[in-house]
């Protein structure tokens, strides 16, 4: 099994020492074409240049027969050759926040020092968390049972007794409730354990998964295609299992990151994330923590207003086509206070460039948001180099209007609290600018309760 690691936009040799064979490269390209994030021809994940493969702006692990490739984010544009364990730890931190995996309690620091792959780390986290919960006791629930027994238990099923058991007077059709751990939640947990045993590389992780399989021996084996996801209910009695359920979904279900879970496939697990989407979800989650004022909402991928509709000479047009979906909206009631669009790319802040490295299409998009959502506080947000903390680099005004378009950067190489504080501070600075007459007078930087 050949496993290699590369950063975004990095090269992987083909047909040379330390690289993949052409057969392995073709298998990986086929896996990229089959993945939802790969586009029609797979080039959104990998591109083939004959002598090498180039990774694109998708991170995670892609697997094929006999080989796998781990793609790590280029977190710090000024230090592209950062050691992989550190970058991998930061990626796990972003996944933790963006997907709500609840991997805190000091585990991120430990993971940052590990040299395992992203997949190995997530499998080990799942195994450790599940063992800890199993030692506290598996959750149980009363299950409705129907069974033919030699003695009455519970209630008699009269209809079944006088039909199916009409010629078996020695059997009673019983209905009863059984307190059992064989619940929908535990069936998903066991299926995840059985699935991961085949893909865990570290001996200690496999040992822990084998221990869990023994602990859950009384729980039925359910095929992955028949798992009762819709029957699982998280409430106050089992809420400490919520993070484990999210990890199980990550491994088994084709959702946001489209995990591959065909048991007949011998190439391992493909677990990929589009970095633009991940960065957006990470920023939105931290802004929800930072903005604590009553009535303030952080909405990701909302709005959905349409740009164009039929023109009415004596009335206001209603948009019906060209739907918009701003990355992040900060709202109070129906009022959109600010719109933030995240961009996962290095920003060239050349002082001689009046555009400050912004793409013209991004500027047009923000101007459309200002018009459609009647919002006069806008920000394009980029990742920053390590140690810069993050700040608003420049403020632009839109011609013949009062809208403010800010250009911001945030350093995501720090700890979670530092990134959260930096984002809150930037939003506070955005709101602290002189307001126009339409800006709500009861909202100002001092009343938002950021921290």
pLDDT in tens, 291-332: 988 889 999 998 888 889 888 888 888 888 999 999 999 998
Cβ atoms < 10 Å from Cβ of 283: 26
**Length of the chain measured in residues:** 451
> H or E stretch including 120?
helix 118-136
Catalogue the E-assigned strands of 236-286: 271-274
pLDDT the model gives residue 292 = 85
Question: What is the full DSSP assignment across 7-32?
Answer: ETT-EEEBSSTTSB-HHHHHHHHHHH
The band of 116, judged by pLDDT with boundaries at 50, 70 and 90, is confident
The band of 451, judged by pLDDT with boundaries at 50, 70 and 90, is very low
What is the average per-residue pLDDT within 180-192? 92
Q: How far apart, in whole angstroms, are the C-alpha atoms of residue 395 and residue 424?
A: 17
Q: What is the pTM of this model?
A: 0.84
For the purposes of burial, counting CB atoms within 10 Å of the CB of 150, is it exposed (0-12), middle (13-18) or buried (19 or more)?
exposed
What is the token pair recorded at 142? 């009363």
pLDDT tens digits, residue range 376-401?
Answer: 999 999 998 776 667 888 899 988 88
pLDDT the model gives residue 104 = 59
Q: In this model, does residue 111 exceed pLDDT 80?
A: no
Between 286 and 66, whose confidence is greater? 286
Sketch the domain layout of the chain as residue ranges. 141-180, 291-447
What is the average per-residue pLDDT within 53-57? 93
What is the token pair recorded at 16? 């040379």
Chain mean position to CA 88: 15
Q: In this model, does residue 258 exceed pLDDT 80?
A: no
- Residues 4-37, buried b or exposed e (16+ Cβ, 10 A)? bbbbbeeebebeeeebbeeebbebbbebbbebeb
Q: Are 439 and 432 in contact (CB under 8 A)?
A: no
pLDDT tens digits, residue range 224-235?
Answer: 889 999 999 888
- Residues 95-118, buried b or exposed e (16+ Cβ, 10 A)? bbbbbebbbeeebbeebbeeebbb
Q: Are 342 and 294 in contact (CB under 8 A)?
A: no
Q: How far apart, in whole angstroms, are the C-alpha atoms of residue 122 and residue 441?
A: 47
* For the chain, percent of residues with pLDDT exceeding 70: 88
pLDDT the model gives residue 222 = 92
Residue 239 DSSP symbol? G
The band of 34, judged by pLDDT with boundaries at 50, 70 and 90, is confident
pLDDT tens digits, residue range 197-209?
Answer: 988 888 889 999 9
């Amino acid at each position: 099994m050949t496993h290699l690691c590369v950063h975004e936009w990095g090269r992987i040799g083909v047909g040379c020492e330390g690289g993949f064979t052409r057969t392995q490269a073709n298998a990986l390209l086929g896996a990229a074409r089959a993945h939802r994030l790969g586009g029609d021809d797979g080039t959104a994940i990998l591109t083939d240049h004959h002598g090498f493969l180039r990774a694109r702006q998708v991170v995670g692990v892609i697997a094929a027969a006999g080989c796998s490739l781990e793609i790590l984010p280029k977190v710090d544009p000024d230090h592209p050759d950062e050691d992989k364990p550190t970058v991998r730890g930061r990626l796990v931190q972003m996944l933790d926040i963006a997907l709500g995996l609840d991997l805190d309690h000091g585990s991120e620091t430990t993971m940052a020092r590990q040299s395992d792959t992203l997949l190995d780390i997530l499998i080990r986290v799942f195994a450790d968390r599940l063992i800890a919960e199993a030692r506290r006791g598996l959750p149980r629930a009363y299950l409705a049972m129907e069974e033919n027994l030699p003695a009455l238990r519970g209630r008699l099923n009269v209809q079944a007794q006088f039909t199916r058991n009409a010629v078996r007077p020695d059997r009673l059709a019983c209905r009863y409730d059984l307190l059992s751990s064989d619940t929908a939640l535990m069936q998903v947990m066991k299926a995840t354990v059985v699935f991961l045993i085949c893909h865990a590389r570290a001996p200690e992780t496999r040992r822990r998964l084998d221990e869990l399989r023994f602990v859950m021996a009384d729980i039925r084996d359910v095929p992955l295609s028949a798992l009762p996801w819709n029957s699982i209910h998280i409430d106050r009695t089992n809420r400490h299992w919520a993070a484990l359920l999210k990890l199980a979904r990550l491994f088994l279900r084709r959702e946001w990151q489209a995990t591959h879970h065909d048991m007949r496939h011998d190439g391992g697990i493909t677990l990929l994330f589009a970095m633009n989407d991940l960065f957006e979800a990470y920023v939105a989650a931290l802004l929800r923590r930072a903005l604590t004022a009553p009535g303030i909402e952080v909405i990701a991928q909302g709005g959905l207003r349409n740009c164009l509709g039929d023109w009415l000479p004596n009335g206001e047009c209603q948009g019906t086509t060209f739907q918009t979906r701003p990355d992040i909206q900060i709202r109070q009631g129906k009022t959109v206070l600010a719109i933030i669009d995240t961009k996962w790319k290095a920003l060239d802040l050349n002082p001689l460039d009046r555009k400050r490295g912004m793409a013209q299409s991004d500027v047009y998009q923000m101007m459309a948001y200002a018009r459609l959502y009647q919002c006069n506080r806008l920000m394009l947000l980029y990742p920053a180099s390590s140690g810069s903390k993050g700040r608003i680099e420049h403020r632009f005004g839109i011609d013949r209007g009062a809208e403010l378009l800010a250009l911001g950067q945030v350093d995501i190489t720090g700890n979670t609290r530092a990134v959260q504080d930096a984002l809150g501070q930037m939003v506070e600075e955005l709101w602290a600018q002189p307001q126009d007459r339409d800006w709500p007078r009861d909202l100002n930087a001092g009343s938002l309760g950021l921290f």
